[in-house]
Amino acid sequence: MTATKPQPRSGVLDIAPYIPGKSTAPGVAKVFKLSSNETPLGPGESTIAAYRKVAEHLEDYPDGSAAGLREAIGDVFGLDPARIVCGAGSDDLLNLIARAYLTDGDEAIHTTHGFLVYPIATLGTGAKPVVAPETNFTADVDAILKLVSPRTKVVFLANPNNPTGTYIPFDEVKRLHQGLPPQVLLVLDAAYAEYVQRNDYESGIELVATSENVVMCRTFSKIYGLAALRLGWMYGPAHVVDAINRIRGPFNVNAPAIAAGIAAIRDVTHVERSREHNSRWLAWLTEEIGKLGLPVTPSVANFVLIHFPEAKGRTAAEADAFLSKRGLILRQVTAYKLPNALRMSVGSEEANRLVVKALAEFLGKTA
């Protein structure tokens, strides 16, 4: 049968478009956006200055290979810059990985509450997303390995995961890798690595360095405070880097992002300050919200997953509406198969205190 109009490739119309976190609350003057895991501290001063400087030469194309940024990243993390690719956010890189390694009939595995970009990127290539069940809101290595088939080409693992905030120890990541056939690409998405303070956690650098089928993606959107600029990077084996460099846009990272990224990655003091703010308030929120009787999934990232009862008047959707009216914008996570939960980014002291107070009010308690 001939189509009467242009048809997208198979899979495209199966995609449920990604819905970003809300950023406004109608009728509320002061809004605290706690819906997209942005840092309440913003970028450091040297980063903002580097960004502004580029405004003097917006007529020039950026360096298409982002060499200066790759060198700075390589320097800070002790990596070979030739094995780094930068992207317009890690979204860009995750999609490029999917495009390079997946096609019709292939399968890519992610976990039940895994980051939604994975199934979107997978479906866009015509491949099929395969969902591995989690245990206690945490990736389960055995469940993933059980789903590997001859059609599996990619395994996506966010570690820590968004929106759950949970992680698996490096030993488990290594066990996952050992159980995968050599032709399957393991994608470790370490968007929140800088926040994790656990001795048994690693972002995956060592595993990438010693294998031919592992890549690690990182972002400047979270602890570095550059979400608006869209900047991420990946570290991978030379052959994967080569494939991604062939299909990426020749100028996929813009000049202000490159300049800001170089300054941000070198501003170790600012990163440390953000990490300290986060660990203090992550612990405080987990405890205070828990005291209200709302279970909070233990998080190692810069957000918490708060679980609500199903009882009318107490639900996650009703809590969201209640908080929004007060300018406190959290994230509904129904699309992540968590209809009874809200995700809250760790905010400023003011925002954190306001949320706990408002939640207490919502539940008819005093905090």
> Residue 111: helix, strand or coil by DSSP?
strand
Smallest distance, ligand PLP to C-beta of residue 150, A: 28
**Burial grade of 186 (CB within 10 A; 0-12, 13-18, 19 or more):** buried
Give 48-56's long-range contacts (Cβ < 8 A, gap of 24+). Answer: 48/260, 49/263, 50/259, 50/260, 50/262, 50/263, 51/229, 51/256, 51/259, 51/260, 51/263, 53/259, 54/255, 54/256, 54/259, 55/256
Work out whether strand 185-189 and strand 214-219 pair parallel, antiparallel, or are unpaired: parallel
Smallest distance, ligand PLP to C-beta of residue 126, A: 22
- Give the bridge partners for 110, in sequence order: 131
Q: Rounded to an integer, what distance in angstroms lies between the CA atom of residue 255 and that of residue 61?
A: 7
Smallest distance, ligand PLP to C-beta of residue 161, A: 7
Nearer to ligand PLP by Cβ, of 282 and 354: the residue is: 282
- Count CB neighbours of 114 within 10 A: 25
Nearer to ligand PLP by Cβ, of 221 and 286: the residue is: 221
Q: Rounded to an integer, what distance in angstroms lies between the CA atom of residue 41 and that of residue 37?
A: 12
Smallest distance, ligand PLP to C-beta of residue 39, A: 11
Smallest distance, ligand PLP to C-beta of residue 285, A: 18
Exposure string (b/e) for 190-212, b if CB count within 10 Å is 16 or more? bbbbbbbeeeebbbbbebbeebe
Residues 155/180, Cβ–Cβ less than 8 Å: yes
Contacting residues for 242 by C-beta, under 8 A, at least 6 apart: none
The dihedral through the CA atoms of 65, 97, 214, 267 has a sign that is positive
Nearer to ligand PLP by Cβ, of 103 and 334: the residue is: 334
Nearer to ligand PLP by Cβ, of 113 and 174: the residue is: 113
Contacting residues for 353 by C-beta, under 8 A, at least 6 apart: none
Nearer to ligand PLP by Cβ, of 225 and 232: the residue is: 232
> Residue 81: helix, strand or coil by DSSP?
helix
Smallest distance, ligand PLP to C-beta of residue 189, A: 5
Q: Rounded to an integer, what distance in angstroms lies between the CA atom of residue 246 and that of residue 240?
A: 10
Smallest distance, ligand PLP to C-beta of residue 295, A: 21
Nearer to ligand PLP by Cβ, of 308 and 336: the residue is: 336
Residue at shortest CB range from ligand PLP? 89
Nearer to ligand PLP by Cβ, of 69 and 356: the residue is: 69
Nearer to ligand PLP by Cβ, of 32 and 115: the residue is: 115
Smallest distance, ligand PLP to C-beta of residue 318, A: 26
Nearer to ligand PLP by Cβ, of 221 and 324: the residue is: 221
Q: Rounded to an integer, what distance in angstroms lies between the CA atom of residue 165 and that of residue 158?
A: 10
List residues near ligand PLP by CB under 6 A: 37, 89-91, 115, 158, 162, 189, 191, 219, 221-222, 227, 232
Smallest distance, ligand PLP to C-beta of residue 277, A: 18
Q: Rounded to an integer, what distance in angstroms lies between the CA atom of residue 317 and that of residue 323?
A: 10
